[in-house]
Amino acid sequence: LLGGGSPVSMFGDQFETEVLVFGPGLTETSVQQTDAWIWQMEGSSRVTINQQEFTLSAGDSLLITEQSQYQWERNQGTVALFVVQNPERKKP
């Protein structure tokens, strides 16, 4: 399921908090509009935030602050959570 490169949304899009599970793959360079948090559950990955590189191993976590440019390269065997809390997503 995670091997296809697409994340799995844990709770859908009706909640303020978005939780995605990622497997191996690459998130191309983009700008994060709100704070995001990565929890590396298994495997390893490399995150570049505003030209600063971070290597994550199982059990590590990393905060990507709002308006930061980032790229995320996830190695084989990766299982990682990507959590964003965005009030604009909240639906009654």
pLDDT digits over 26-77, tens only? 999 999 888 999 999 999 999 999 999 999 999 999 999 999 999 999 999 9
51 falls within a domain: yes
Provide the edge-to-edge strand list for the sheet that holds 68-74: 25-32, 68-74, 44-49, 52-57
Q: Residue 74 is part of a domain; what is its CATH number? A: 2.60.120.10
pLDDT band per the 50, 70, 90 thresholds, residue 15 = low
91 falls within a domain: no
44 falls within a domain: yes
Strand partners, 84: 18, 36
pLDDT of 2 strictly over 90: no
Domains in the chain, number: 1
pTM over 0.85? The answer is no
92 falls within a domain: no
pLDDT band per the 50, 70, 90 thresholds, residue 18 = confident
d(CA 89, CA 87): 5
17 falls within a domain: yes
Q: What residue numbers bound the domain in which 63 lies?
A: 2-85
